[in-house]
Structures are given as C-alpha cells and as structure tokens.
Amino acid sequence: MSSARRHLVSIDDLSLAEIKSLFEHAKRFAEDLRGFAKVCPGLISASLFYEPSTRTRLSFESAMLRLGGGVLTAADMRATSASKGESLADTVRVVSGAYADVIVLRHASEGAARLAAQYSAVPVVNAGDGSHEHPTQTLCDLYNLWLERGRIEGINVVLAGDLRYSRTIHSFVYALARFGANIVCVPQPGFELPAYVVQRLREEFAVEPVRADATRLGDLALASDAVYLTPQKPHQLSLFTDGGKGLAVGRVDALYMTRPQTERFKGDDLPIQKYQQLSKREMSVESLRDAVVMHPLPRRDEIQPDLDEDPRSIYFKQAARGVPIRMAILAFLLERIDLGVPAHSLDARYYPAPVGENPCRNTTCISRTETRHVRALYRLAARFPIRAHCAYCSHEIVAPLVGCTTTRHAHFFDSASARRIRPDHMVFFASEAEAAAAGYAPAARAAAAT
C-alpha cells in the first residue's frame, strides 16, 4: 500500500466535501443494492470485533458482499488469539499482512482504532472505540439528515439521553458543529457531554455552551439541564429567542435519542431512577411537530413502540441506510471510487511522550489498557498556557508542570518559559514530586508574556 493510504479513525479524517460526495455515492448504491457486485471483486474485509455488535458488523459485511468482495469475521475476539494475550498491534499486523484488504475494528478502549492504523498495512475503519468515537455511525446519521432535510447546514438538532458515554453522540456533535448545525443537548441528568468534548468544541469549532430554556420540549426536558451549542452567534438564529431563562428552543428538525450506555458506566455513576422516554405524548409538543426521530439502536425503553408507525420515526430506515453509506466508505478506502473533491481533513500533529512516561490519566485509553506496542502520544491544543490532549482518547492531559527533555527543567504550564519548549521535547508532570522523581529540577516561574 502507498503512504497515501487512508483510514477512517475519526470523523475528522474526512473533509465536508468528501462527506457530501460519499452521500451522493451512497444514494446511487441505494437505488440498486444488487447492481454493484463488480466494484470490489477479489477484495476481503476483516471484521475484528472485541465488543458485541449487530447492525454495525452486519451492515459492513453486507456492504462488502454487495460490492462483490469477501468477508472474514472475528465477531467474538474471546475465541481468537486475543484470549491468549496477543496484543492488538500484533493482531492487526497479522490480519493486514495477507488476510484482508481492509479492517473494520470495534474495541472497548478509546483510541484503539488509531493504534491499529499505526500498525496496519491496509485501511482501518473505526467501528467504535470505547466511549470515544463512532465515525461510520455518524456518517450514517448525517446521511439520514441529508436525505430527510435536504441539508445539514443550519438545521436544528436535539440530542437527548446518555450524552456522556455515547461514542455515537461524540462523533455526531463534532460533525454537526463542522457543518454549522444548531444543537440543543438535553441530557439525562448526570450524563452530560464530557468536559473534553465540550472543550474541543470550544477550541476547534468556536462553540460556546449556553444554558437553554427547553420548556418548549415538554416532559422530555423536564429535569434536564439543557445546553445550547452553535458555531454561530445566537442573535443570528431564528431557532432561539431570549426568554429570560436562557435561549428558548423553538422549532426542531431532528430529535436524536440514545439509550443508557450501561456497559460503560463507572463505579461513581449514580443509578438511574427514571430515564428519559419518547412516546406520542412527548412528540405532541409544537416544537417537535416536524422533527424526525432518530436512534442509533439498539433501544430499550427510551422510545416507546407507539412511535414506531409515526411517519416522523426514521430509526429503522436509519439502520437500513447504513448499508449503502458503508458501501461508499469501503469503496472509497479501497480506491474503487473517486470522490472527485480535494482530500482534506482536520489535521493534527501528534508528538510522542518520552519513553516510560504516559501523561494520559484515562484508565480506558488504549495507551493504558495495552501494555505492549503502544507509545503515548499527545497533541497540543494551546501554547500559552500549555494545554494538551491525548492523541488516542482526546482526554485533556492534566499537568501543572511541563518538563523539557533537553534542559531537564520542569516549568509551570502557564509560564512564559514553558511556551519556549519544543513540542517534541515536552514531558508532563502531575506534581513537583513526580517531576523530581524523574530527575527534573524546578525552574523559576517566569512572568507571563505580554
């Protein structure tokens, strides 16, 4: 494979123009799902699923078969060499050696797909990495909005339910921000968007969360601390008016409901007494009259069966449309279709942490759960004061001290002297004691640069 090999690890790996072009190809595939068996003959997709899946795995395998290719499936990695202690890196190197032409990976650890892409000789598709991202589900969701509403730019989307652990929501909110959609978050209390997601929205998309008056959403938002997100200025929007309690929600184009991601709950999460629900009653409020109802499935009780026949409910269409959009994704990554637009993504430069140092404190990050063949990486979010994120899981690196591997001095993260450290020479410390234990002497705190 050439050095120009593309992976789909994050929704950021595609430009907006590429995403729209994928939609056009998916629409063409959807017109005759049996008519494109000559697109990928002789090519093989490998499904490596370390977590359970129905729709994602089957839709990818259906997509590859409909393109005329073949499929290798490891749907239960407990029955593979992973149960013998084989690392993800080694598994990927073996499978990408001669077994398959593309790898579709689902893994419980955040950042697993990025690690796999470092070792794979073929394209890697992220089919969900922990609670981090799920870019192909996001493409499917965007594709549905594009079909149902004719555009994504400027539409008004409500996200409800478990926004904390839903990787689908995290990828989706980044993409909606990039397209310039208006977003209202109506989370289950205690399951708001993670701080690192909100922080990235601020830093990269100029989104500032503002308290929203969601009373017009009725019982759905009765106990929720609703938040309004937009890359535009509030006064430019007809969706919101200043009602004194915050920006008031008006007409909604789409309502995206999520289930409680109980498999990712942590020990300090309080039990959910009553989860948000959608039924004909909740959908009868005026603001939701024209809203399509979306859900990535599987559902539990958060969407009642009485909504299944409602013409606004598109969640089963949403699942079916996962096949043509994934046909387009596979055909693109395998270089069997030309998107006809310039390749561009939200590029980020990653720097390796010094050997033996892992500044990421997220215990479910792949840099923590894999003990071999993974080196901690980070990316800088700001130079003054120094702020950095783990390149795998995107969590912020909490480090009041930044060391320089050349001088072996430790500087306060908000000092002018820290700003002069080269990114590839930085090492992060949680305390002065930790810095001293690593052999770094304290540097005098410099005044902030003006």
Contacts of 88 (CB under 8 A, 6+ apart): 82, 107, 112, 115, 116, 366, 370, 373
C-alpha distances in Å from residue 351, one per residue of 256, 356, 363, 399 = 36, 14, 20, 16
Using alpha carbons only, give the angle 79, 84, 86 rounded to the nearest 5 degrees: 100
Q: With CA atoms as reference, report the closest residue to 239 among 157, 127, 139, 333.
A: 157
Give CA–CA dist 394/400, Å, rounded.
18
Q: Which amino acid would we find at residue 122?
A: V
Can 106 be counted among the known catalytic residues? Answer: yes
Which residue in 34, 38, 84, 233 is the catalytic one?
A: 84
Pairing of strands 351-352, 70-74: unpaired
Annotated catalytic residue, options 55, 216, 281, 299: 55
Helices and strands per DSSP (H, E), number in the chain: 12, 19
Largest distance between two CA atoms of the chain: 69
Instruction: List the catalytic residue out of 66, 106, 149, 178.
Output: 106
Do 163 and 192 form a contact (C-beta atoms < 8 A)? Answer: yes
Indicate if the alpha-carbon torsion angle 162, 166, 172, 177 is positive or negative.
Answer: positive
Task: Tell me the C-alpha distance between 398 and 183, whole Å.
Answer: 28
Helix residue ranges per DSSP H, 123-218: 135-149, 167-179, 195-205
Of 262, 281, 280, give the one whose Cα is nearest residue 271: 262
Report the Cα 307 to chain-centroid distance in Å: 28
- Give the active site residue among 20, 57, 134, 321: 134
* 233 is an active site residue: no
| 134 catalytic residue (yes or no) | yes
Cα–Cα dist 407/291, whole Å:
59
Amino acid at 360: C
Q: Give dist(CA 373, CA 148) in Å, integer.
A: 44
Active site residues: 55-56, 84, 106, 134
